[in-house]
Chains A and B, each alone.
Chain A
Amino acid sequence: MNSLLSVHNLSFDYGARPILDEVNFEIARGETVALMGANGAGKTTLLKIFAGLLTPSGGEVCLLGRPLAACSRRELARSIALVPQEVSISVDFTVLQFVRQGRAPYLSFLGIPQNSDRLAVWKAMDLAGVEHLAHRRFNELSGGERQRVKIALALAQEPQLLLLDEPAQHLDIGRQAEIFSVLEKLNQQGITIVAAVHDLESACRHFTQGILLCPGSPPIVGAPPEILTPAAIQAVFDLKASENGHSAFLVKQKEPA
């Protein structure tokens, strides 16, 4: 298999609190990967390490065999885009002005955008389905619109790997479906997707791969319906087998995808 991102013996700690301990796994090109785990298990941390925002305390992450630490910030930003969970912008950008920022890693020293940059911005807005919002103000958008606009910014980076931190959080089921259908479309265009996901049901339905972060033991990697065994869920989320949410999920999981 063609590995896009490989994680070798990756460790990370916030001071005395270890988050990741010698983690190993690979992400193949073209996959959609759901990153799962309890709160504080290191999902966001892992995404930030992939995006070059955090430096691991041990081990390394390689993009197409090249360690991230050896890439410049701009190089990274042209290959990997992260859609953060929250964003607070301090100026009143329109959607177009916001999405344009995704071209920053491509601009020359003088920062003058070329036609190829404009094309990439409009293409990104079209793919994310936010073209019609171009002249609306970012701060006045609804949650679902905002999420898709952030995805558009990431697409303007023309990344090979798209990272998303809880892309469906706080969205109603209609808006969640919109986000997942956008992600599906992007995946068809060849973009590899890694998303931190809370909802195990969405993980099974929309992702080809799952990585379940387990405190104190190596992550479980595999197709989501296969790795989300009752034992694994119980261990990771500290759930009692009798609890309703848990069993409801297990029932649904058995339905054909």
Chain B
Amino acid sequence: MGMNVTTAGELIPERVMREQRDSSLRRTLLFASGAMVLLLASVLVSAVLGAVHISPRAILAALGGNHAALSTAEQMILLQVRLPRIVTAGIIGAALSLAGVLFQGLFRNPMADPYVLGTSGGAAVGAAFGIFLFPATTLLGFSAAASFAFLGSIVTIILVYSLARTGGKTPMVPLLLAGMAVSIILGEASSVLVYLGDEVSFNARNLALWLHGTITAISWPQILLASGMLLAGGILCIPLRPVLDLFALGEEYAQQLGIRIELARAALIIVASLFTAAAVLLGGVISFVGLLVPHIIRLMVGPEHGRLLLLSAICGASYLILADTVARTVHAPSEFPVGIITAFIGAPVLIYLLRRSKREYAL
């Protein structure tokens, strides 16, 4: 029997295959460019809105080379206030969404998200400890805060993982309970830090705000550090993409399809923690982004992880840029922590997923 002849006598020509590959590639590119347009639009909206309204036409003109379209004050606001903030929100949104996709793949559970699992809290406590204990130390070029945030996230995830897993599975309820229990402990630990902070003139109010998720004035070195972490994690996602697809079949299936399961699990935990730490360093504990964004993307493009990761990153960035814009404009000139906005949007999605899980929910 020839290689390309089906039992029905039909051909499976290479041409059909090529068409299929092209159409799937084209679809991915189409989705990605749509998402990029959305991202650029979010950036523009966020640049325009604020205590001072800046005309979008003037911004576009300035981008086109006509710098005179913007006043000096407007240029200063854009470049020194809004732009760093937009970039920060974008990085956090992308990092949290990617962490969500990785955790959901690892736990085989659509509700796994850095906030729900308590890893954001773990990273925050780690970072606070780093700032508190070693304010001036660096490790391999990373500040103590970054290193401890990363460690905090890893420790939390291992704790939740071992608490919630029974017989190779992580059922919904134990996962949520383990995440909640760990979050409570972490919440109290951070409160202790807030109290202690007062005694050693640690900026306790900032810490408290940060633990509730807020994007404030961020320095470029911090942005650079976090974007480096995001980029490193993003690159590691490329080989992890097929691993995540295989995890969806169950660990034993993945194993007999050639995956070294302990290695894969460790890699997923490390990369997801890298994302979580990057997000927490910039914005503290921002809730439900990693839950909401991958869920919507999955509904749009299906469950395969290549597209899911790419689009979750881009759309996650747009989502948080817009959420942050809302946070700083609804009650201007004062601001809400962005974590409140994402909680109001994300919590109903969690409830919805819980309801669906009663009917044997699959991602």
Contacts and interface: CB of A to CB of B under 8 A. Distances in A.
Interface stretch (A114-122, A167-175, A195-203): A114-122
Contact of A52 (B1, B108, B256): B256
B257 A93 contact: no
Contacts of A53: 252, 255-256
A100 B241 CA distance: 13
B21 A111 contact: no
B362 A139 contact: yes
Assign chain B's interface to a size class: 35 or more
Given A92-B302, A139-B362, A104 B4 contact: no
B196 to A, nearest CB: 42
A94 B304 CA distance: 10
A118 B12 CA distance: 10
Contacts of A76: 256, 258
Contacts of B258: 72-74, 76-78, 104-105
Nearest to A105: B258
Which of B18, B256, B304 has the most chain A CB within a 10 Å cutoff?
A: B256
A76 B250 CA distance: 18
Nearest to A98: B249
26 contacts: A72-B258, A73-B255, A73-B258, A73-B259, A77-B258, A81-B256, A90-B108, A90-B109, A90-B247, A90-B362, A91-B303, A91-B362, A91-B363, A93-B248, A97-B245, A97-B302, A101-B245, A104-B242, A110-B239, A113-B21, A115-B18, A119-B14, A126-B6, A129-B7, A185-B7, A189-B1
Interface of A: 51-53, 72-74, 76-78, 81-82, 84, 87-94, 97-98, 100-102, 104-105, 107, 109-111, 113, 115, 118-119, 122-123, 126-127, 129, 131, 139, 157, 185, 189
Given A92-B303, A118-B21, 17 more contacts: A52-B256, A53-B252, A73-B259, A74-B258, A76-B258, A77-B258, A89-B248, A90-B108, A90-B109, A93-B248, A97-B245, A101-B246, A104-B242, A111-B242, A115-B14, A119-B3, A122-B17
